[in-house]
Structure 1
């Protein structure tokens, strides 16, 4: 519930603190005193649209602050904490809205949040009824929601099960449709993969084979030059056949022997002699390897053609998959699993078709349970609201709830819900809003809310706010409106802006918005909000009845107040 509303620089209200208690609170005051601004403040803390035109003349910004008492373990409290908000120790959730030219700011529990977060929480906490909300009552969606709420918690569980089944069916149907839509494309892709994998298997490329063949082709193309170079290098190391043609190996050996002859006399020279010996061994090994390598370079005219043919085959394959043999092998690693996935498409389609058939059966069953719940609730709601309307001076009116079958099952069931009203005996039932006056719609709306609030297991918000619920009514009907609001207030907090004393007399708390003037450089009007009790309350009721506080008006007001207490 809302425990307090504070307003600053909003319309004609300079500063006001409005305490709101459990039960029925009525807000009254003369026309133009600022009752509308109280509702504007409530709208702001409930996430309503922020309009800079509501900022009081001469002020920079308007503000509205609301204090909600919520159960710390409730879903509302959990959603607020998820948004970063904090609750006070007593479970108070503070909401602050400020409105300035071109911008507004929303603070929830000490943390700035988007206004949509606040609006989402407010939908759970508060139901607001005004002239615009009468239009919503004509909406099939809101009528269906009202009937479902009246049906109670077990029905809402069945409805949620149906919605879950419908969502699962939608997912399965979408996947099946996508499979069907892409089946030809998938088959083409699978065929291309098969052809590509078969070609790779035929060619059988090996890792790095293209690089190795390129090197071999380069060598084979210059085979004679390579062999001649190897032979010359071997000759340079080994020398000729005669003693006058020593090669590098022989010269190094001569140097080693010369140094070795006197190495015993000089340590440094001895070390150099050892290094010369190592060089000699190395040169001998190189000469042997060059000789052996030259012997392997036998001319093979056909080998070069074979290498070039293999390179051409690999090149054709590689160009289709990235440019190298390694790219081909990488493609194979991905293509195999993808082909397996595509080949399983038919199996997946068959599984989806079977799943869809099962879900159709489930959906038909859940929709039937929802329909049964609505059918039962429709009769009870129609009878309850009709009884309420009789007490609201609409004795000849009959309220009805009609279920109209849909062409196909949807997320909310197999039917639309239409509320109807028979205005007087002999008249045909007509949809709400067709032919009913604003006052009649107000009373229908109130009767529906009372029915919802008093229904077993019905889910209801903690607070109701009514504006103009008494529009177009008077006399006994106004008394009955007050009585019904008082009945509703036994189950929820109810805040009503009214101009009827018959309604105000039923309040547990009566707040009066009054207008005053402040003299300065300019004349500034402001409004105050005060609670009235005792004689002050009787005086306010007298003003509402006759516009005066004459003895007769005061007597009538006192009598009205006494009757309201007895009539509860």
Structure 2
């Protein structure tokens, strides 16, 4: 609910702060006093477009402020907190203060908004207001004009039973949409996916057939270098072994091994044992052994040089060329080629599984369609059932509002195709009198009739509507007499469940208020402007205002007596 409203320099109102009742608050005043500025202020706080023309003459800025009391989990409170607003909290409620200021400038109108002390976009005020307040003005007699709003109203009226059926339907509908979308995609892309599978299969097979080993390309490069220099290696080995161990074809040719052995024997044959020669003898023996080992290693190396070198070289070069081709296609390194193959195998499995997947999705689509048809039929039956009840309740209210022959009905008609909210198009229809054709709301009814229809709907739907505050701006236009009394009664009944704020010119309505506010006009002829403020009326002040509304002036004794009767009747 709205706890208080502060207005500064808006229209003819210079400055005022009003406390609003949690039940029914009425706002009255003479024509031109500025009653509608209260609604204008609330509209600004709910994100309406700012107009510099609404700023009070002589001032450059107007501002409005409202304090909301909301349940802890209310959507408006959550939206404000998400935007950074700071809310005061107690055991049961959260308190949110919202402000809006408009400033006239040479380039147009500037607007600033805050929520919970934090500057916020004006659009956030609209989001807060959407869930906190419903405003009905003379130009917007019915908030339930659109088919969407009417469907939501009927579904809310159906309570948990209809809500559960709709939830099950939506779950099936969303799943069916997903399945159908995937199936259609597979069918539309069958040829492309088959070609992709064929190419991917060929690529993976050539990688598998290559039987790649880690670092194989590096080893092949070393092998090719070795094979390309095989003759040079063989010649060097022959020269080296001949120099070290001699030539088998020339036994007299000297060799390093024989010369070292000759030197060792010469030292070994010297007479006596000299310590200096003993060390030389041992070193020569070691050199001889080392030369023998080197010769053996060179011979082994020479033996490893295969005679089919050209063939082996050709094989190695061909293998390296194949590996380089794979690297060019699938990755800069062999490791990348293997990684690519590993990553693509699941994709190939998916593509190969298309046929099975299509069969599965086709069966699933058929099953879900059958389930959706059952759930849609159930939803339609429930809407028809609750539509009859809603129509009967609203009709009863209309009869109480002096529309004794009016009938409201709910048409539940099939859509061309199932939608996310069911198979149904919902329409609220009014039959003004027997024999007339039921017509959509808002067509063929007078302003006074529209006011009563809207009020009847609001009274019936109040228990299911999440909006905690209703504001009515002279919705009783074109109504009088007993019909006005009945409107006042129903507004009072509505106010037992939600907060109701009414701008009215009818004393029959004002008499039912828990709080009566009057907009007071103070024209300054010399200065050329009018100033208004808002005050609460109690006791005789309220009697005087009701008398003014009844007879045009507050001093009429008969009007004051009638005003007392209205108050007594409303209290009764």
TM over 0.5: yes
Matches within 5 A, 1:94-105: 94-101=96-103, 103-105=110-112
Q: Return 185-194 or 122-131, whichever deviates more.
A: 122-131
Matches within 5 A, 1:20-35: 20-35=20-35
Aligned counterpart, 1:308: 317
Aligned counterpart, 1:421: 430
Aligned counterpart, 2:483: 477
| Alpha-carbon distance in 1 for matches of 2:164, 2:86 | 30
Contact 2:52 2:102 in 1 (8 A): yes
Aligned counterpart, 2:11: 11
Q: Return 531-540 or 134-143, whichever deviates more.
A: 134-143
Candidates 467, 473, 492, aligned match of 1:467: 473
Secondary structure at 1:134's aligned position in 2? coil
Aligned counterpart, 2:270: none
Change (3 A) 1:172 1:219: same
Shift of residue 342, structure 1, vs aligned partner: 1.9
Q: How many residues end up aligned between the 2 structures?
A: 547
Shift of residue 314, structure 1, vs aligned partner: 2.8
Candidates 206, 209, 213, aligned match of 2:220: 213
**Is structure 2 residue 398 aligned with structure 1 residue 389?**
yes
Change (3 A) 1:294 1:190: same
Contact 2:79 2:127 in 1 (8 A): no
**Is structure 2 residue 126 aligned with structure 1 residue 119?**
yes
Matches within 5 A, 1:366-405: 366-405=375-414
Contact 2:408 2:430 in 1 (8 A): yes
Q: Return 195-204 or 72-81, whichever deviates more.
A: 72-81
Aligned counterpart, 1:143: 150
Deviations 1:136-195 (A, max 9, x none): 433111122222222233222322332232222222222222222222222221111211
Aligned counterpart, 2:373: 364
**Is structure 2 residue 177 aligned with structure 1 residue 170?**
yes
| Alpha-carbon distance in 2 for matches of 1:5, 1:503 | 22
| Alpha-carbon distance in 1 for matches of 2:488, 2:283 | 120
| Alpha-carbon distance in 2 for matches of 1:505, 1:477 | 14
Deviations 1:501-542 (A, max 9, x none): 22112111111122336899x766443111111111122222
Deviations 1:462-508 (A, max 9, x none): 22111131122222222221121111112211111112222112111
| Alpha-carbon distance in 1 for matches of 2:477, 2:449 | 9
Aligned counterpart, 2:452: 443
Secondary structure at 1:137's aligned position in 2? coil
Q: Return 484-493 or 540-549, whichever deviates more.
A: 540-549
Secondary structure at 1:320's aligned position in 2? helix
Candidates 550, 556, 567, aligned match of 2:555: 550
Change (3 A) 1:10 1:168: farther
Shift of residue 395, structure 1, vs aligned partner: 2.2
Secondary structure at 1:373's aligned position in 2? helix
In structure 1, stretches of 5+ residues that fail to align are 258-263
Candidates 161, 164, 183, aligned match of 2:168: 161
Aligned counterpart, 2:198: 191
Change (3 A) 1:513 1:160: farther
Contact 2:55 2:61 in 1 (8 A): yes
Shift of residue 420, structure 1, vs aligned partner: 1.4
Secondary structure at 2:9's aligned position in 1? strand
| Alpha-carbon distance in 2 for matches of 1:185, 1:548 | 86
Change (3 A) 1:74 1:237: farther
Contact 1:452 1:460 in 2 (8 A): no
Matches within 5 A, 1:297-336: 297-300=305-308, 301-336=310-345
Aligned counterpart, 2:271: none
Aligned counterpart, 1:134: 141
Shift of residue 295, structure 1, vs aligned partner: 4.1
Q: Return 386-395 or 315-324, whichever deviates more.
A: 315-324
Change (3 A) 1:397 1:209: same
Change (3 A) 1:324 1:471: same
**Is structure 2 residue 517 aligned with structure 1 residue 508?**
no
| Alpha-carbon distance in 1 for matches of 2:497, 2:416 | 39
Candidates 186, 194, 203, aligned match of 1:179: 186
Deviations 1:446-474 (A, max 9, x none): 111112236xxx34432211113112222
| Alpha-carbon distance in 2 for matches of 1:525, 1:224 | 118
Secondary structure at 2:477's aligned position in 1? coil
Aligned counterpart, 2:272: none
**Is structure 2 residue 566 aligned with structure 1 residue 560?**
yes
**Is structure 2 residue 315 aligned with structure 1 residue 296?**
no
CA RMSD in angstroms comes to 3.7
| Alpha-carbon distance in 2 for matches of 1:66, 1:133 | 23
Shift of residue 30, structure 1, vs aligned partner: 2.4
Aligned counterpart, 2:544: 539
Deviations 1:299-333 (A, max 9, x none): 42211121222223333333322354333212211
